[in-house]
Structure 1
Amino acid sequence: MKIKTNKIQILGLIIIMVVILFCSLVALQNPGKYTYFLFRSKIIVFFLAVLGILLSIYVITYYSKILFKKEYFGTNREGIYNGCSYLKEKQINWHEIVELNEIKYQGISRIRVKVIDNKKYLKNLNFMTKYIADRTIKDLGTPIIIDSANLDCTFDEIKKLIFDNWKKNKTN
């Protein structure tokens, strides 16, 4: 079964990040103009503007790939295909999964997927993605977490899909 991405939500996030990019570029041109009681120095405004530019470019690039590649989430006899994942390796085979459980992480219900070898999923990552993956491993013991944030379904639907298919296919 395939679940498509929620294109309206992703497009909305891209638009927000374009606005942040524009505001950061404006602040970067004249940081002295934007100093006030919160940002008392041009250096802080400059630093935050550069950070806003880098972060927005990264997020716009990431979500544009998801939006235009028509990525999806799905399960089959081989495993889970998570096209919306930040990891390069999208296919998670059932026989590689050690444990599946529902968790609350950063206030969002997610499914933690513990696998035999995390290193397989950490190959060919850029600096920012590697940092996110390392942080997730430190917090959860795995780089793979699944939620319904970018998908056109509820968390309960995705949870049922994953757990039902795992029970059916994990021994095969």
Structure 2
Amino acid sequence: MKTIIIEKNKNYFKRIAIMLLMIFVLCGLVNFLCYPSEHTYFLLPTKNTVIIFSIVGIITCALVIFLLLKSIFRKDVFLRIDEQGIFNGFFLYTKKLIKWEEISKIETIKYNYNNYIAIFLKETPNNEKGISSLFFKMNEKSMGTPYIITSGDLDCSFDELERLILEGYNQSKQIKN
């Protein structure tokens, strides 16, 4: 089996646009936090709800901006398919290499109008900490597995990605038998 490396997409326009939008929202939330009495209305009827809304929003915006900056400036981000398995540098998890023998099945799923390749492992222990653990649990609950791959950040189409992963998986099963 030959090694296939798919680099990250170099088009940062979407990420930068989202980051600018988040900075704009962040400025608005800081304004809400500084002057809570001016921003009370029927959805946020008291100063305390405005303050709580502002703090939660600021934390969320900061998290999104951090994740976007991290995705833009990381240099070691790529997807590699080889005889060992699938190495996904895009995962936020510590386990980036999924070995072929750990995989029970691979499916293409559609979730929220997007296509994903879901990799189901024989055992999926959650050894993650912090935010990674939260994303692990959310993906496992919503999609059935925490290990999902999309072509959005990759320099290839979804059909090509699906074909390459399934070919690698089928070749590994043939070698094993």
| Secondary structure, aligned partner of 2:60 | helix
Alignment-mate amino acid for residue 91 of structure 2: S
Residues 10, 150 of structure 1: 8 Å contact kept: no
Where does the alignment leave 5 or more consecutive residues of structure 2 unmatched? none
- Does residue 1:28 correspond to 2:33, yes or no? yes
Change (3 A) 1:131 1:165: same
| Secondary structure, aligned partner of 1:117 | coil
Q: What's the CA shift string for 1:130-156, capped at 9, x where partnerless?
A: 223113222333211111232333222
- Does residue 1:44 correspond to 2:53, yes or no? no
Deviation at 1:29, TM superposition (A): 1.1
Larger radius of gyration: 2
Task: Tell me the equivalent position of 1:55.
Answer: 60
Using the alignment, how far apart are the partners of 2:137 and 2:73 within structure 1? Answer: 27
- Does residue 1:125 correspond to 2:162, yes or no? no
Task: Tell me the equivalent position of 1:110.
Answer: 116
Alignment-mate amino acid for residue 62 of structure 2: I
Deviation at 1:171, TM superposition (A): 4.2
Change (3 A) 1:168 1:58: same
TM-score with structure 2 length normalisation? 0.83
After the TM superposition, list the runs of 4 or more consecutive aligned residues in structure 1 that deviate by more than 4 angstroms: none
Where does the alignment leave 5 or more consecutive residues of structure 1 unmatched? none
**Once the two structures are aligned, what percentage of the paired residues are identical?**
28
Using the alignment, how far apart are the partners of 1:21 and 1:80 within structure 2? Answer: 37
TM-score with structure 1 length normalisation? 0.85
Deviation at 1:117, TM superposition (A): 2.1
Change (3 A) 1:34 1:102: same
Deviation at 1:102, TM superposition (A): 0.6
> What pairs up with 1:1-172 in 2 under 5 angstroms?
1-5=5-9, 6-70=11-75, 71-119=77-125, 122-126=126-130, 128-172=131-175
Change (3 A) 1:17 1:72: farther
Q: What's the CA shift string for 1:109-137, capped at 9, x where partnerless?
A: 11110012211xx32421x3322311322
Change (3 A) 1:12 1:88: farther
Change (3 A) 1:72 1:125: same
Using the alignment, how far apart are the partners of 2:53 and 2:161 within structure 1? Answer: 37
Using the alignment, how far apart are the partners of 2:23 and 2:94 within structure 1? Answer: 24
CA RMSD after TM alignment: 2.0
Residues 9, 150 of structure 1: 8 Å contact kept: no
Alignment-mate amino acid for residue 40 of structure 1: P
Equivalent pairs counted in the alignment come to 169
Using the alignment, how far apart are the partners of 2:50 and 2:81 within structure 1? Answer: 46
